[in-house]
Amino acid sequence: MKIEKEELDLILDQRNKIDTIVGQIANIELQKSQLINSYSNLIEESNNTRKGLEEKYGSISIDLSDGSYTELNNENK
């Protein structure tokens, strides 16, 4: 005994759609993982840059609009 062809076609179509969505979710998770890794690397790079600037200029606050800086009072730390 078999189900009707239309019923089988419906089930196969639904199964294909499910498989497509699962594949898309897997791709999104992979992209998410890659973005998290890139974010972590950038945070580490940023921290290294900050440390390098602190070694060169001491404890400062930088105005990102023009690069000027003011020295910070170390007693507040």
| Confidence (pLDDT) at 73 | 83
Residues 6+ apart with CB under 8 A from 60: 53, 54, 69, 70, 71, 72
pTM above 0.75, yes or no: no
| pLDDT tier, 75 (very low <50, low <70, confident <90, very high otherwise) | low
